[in-house]
Amino acid sequence: MLEHQWEVEFCHSYREGNRATDAMAAYAYLMDMGLIFHPYPPTNVAVVIEDDFHGVGSIRAVAG
């Protein structure tokens, strides 16, 4: 792996840009420590995925 010429780019994404990840992080925050396998996404994540499937967006005002 070290022999390859790697090019890595990091990009900031607001939590609205990846709502499923934000929902999963919020869910994980409330869980006990340990490894948990989910055969299906938790309800709060499934709702976000369904919204994405239907093209539901979100708006965020950002002061720059």
6: which 2 tokens?
A: 């790697």
Structural domain tally of the chain?
1
Q: What is the pTM of this model?
A: 0.57
Domain that holds residue 50: 1-64
Model pLDDT for residues 3-26, shown as the tens digit of each residue: 888 898 998 877 777 888 888 888
pLDDT digits (tens, 9 = 90+) for 25-55: 888 888 888 888 889 988 988 998 898 888 8
Are 29 and 50 in contact, with CB atoms under 8 Å apart? no
DSSP annotation of 16:
G
